[in-house]
Structure 1
Amino acid sequence: MSVVNANPVSRWSRLRGPFAGVAVAGFLSAAVVAPLAMPSAPADAETMAFQQRIHQEFVPNTTEEADLVFTDVGVVELPDPEEVRKKQEAKEAAQAQKEAEEAAARAAEENAGTSGDAGVGAPPKYTGGGSPAEWMAAAGIAEADWGYVDYIASKESGWNPNATNASSGACGLIQALPCSKVPGSGYDPVDNLRWASGYATGRYGSWAQAYAFWTANHWW
């Protein structure tokens, strides 16, 4: 024999408890989510323009940044101006020292040429007179070349027929080396210039070219 619940209300009450909680939770969730899902009011034109400007100024452009990072740019190395200046000064100092040494050597040659004998077996010193123009004319040097000859002879001996290089033995107006190669006498100005004229044209082609070589190299 089955027993029928005489109080259906109490049974419903027991069942309603769990379902009632679920229903309340669903209602509250709907109440919270509903406002978030509502579409916002459209912004006016001024607000949209301001937002667009802020985006352009402050939002980084990742594409441009990537280009800046990965673009291969060639590097051109420029010379250091200070290094260039130092090298130029060193070159000029070396040239000045060389010229000073050459001038000192020529001065020593001139002093040696006027201080006595050039050595045993050396040709006799020149004791005659004359001028450079007379000597060049007597040596058969064209007058058009006298300026070149004058420059070289002035540098080599100061137009001293008896100039002698104390270390090498070069002698005379053009400092023939060795002195014995000059036909006649290395200290005779005409003999020395006649030999020098053949040397200038034979080695350089002309007195003008010999002069150009001397000015570039300070010897010939």
Structure 2
Amino acid sequence: MTSRSTVSRRTTRVPARRGGTPVSARWSRRRGASSVFAAVAALGMAGGALAPLGTALAVAQEKPVEVVSLWAESRGDAQALSGDGTATAPAQLDRSGFTVYVAPKPTPTPTPTPTPVEGESTGTSRAAPVMYSGGGSSADWLSAAGIPESDWGYVDYIVSRESSWNPNATNASSGACGLVQAYPCSKVPGSGYDPVDNLTWANGYAVGRYGSWSEAYAFWSSNHWW
């Protein structure tokens, strides 16, 4: 039999180059050189990064680090703002418009406002009534008021019971005034105490409310008021 020489897979896959140097040995040397260069580059980068830190530590050893608290720093900023001339002056409050009311003790009793008298005034305010002092007789007043003489008896009956022909008669409780006791007194145009003004108003009232002086007389006779 013919014998075969055994050739390993490695010997078959890695043929020798000229000069007798295998290819696998050449690649091994290249990988070794690349590893060395990578290690040198890594050391260089590490040195560059650690150099500033070493310098800072050296400086720190030569000069102690000054510790500044947050409160001290804030105070310094506040002093700087107050001293640079740019800080805004505080606003001034205007207190001129404030008033203070102090209740008196004891509390004073309020003064009542005088009640104006109806039908009389002096200037712009009411005053005491101006009483009639012009004189005259009942006939003069009836004529001046335009009341027909045929009605004078009815008028005399009512006026005699209302005021006894006193032009200045005033009801103390109601304030009705004059010959016929007009109520309120301000109803009478002019003056309620003037007999002519009072009778003129009464003539219109008797005719307007009752239809005539005779009907007014009949009502008064039954009710004692009109």
Name the TM-score class by shorter chain.
Answer: 0.3 to 0.5
Structure (1 or 2) with the greater helix fraction? 1
Bigger radius of gyration among the two = 2
Greater relative contact order (Cα 8 A, min sep 6): structure 1 or 2? 1
TM-score by length of 2: 0.44
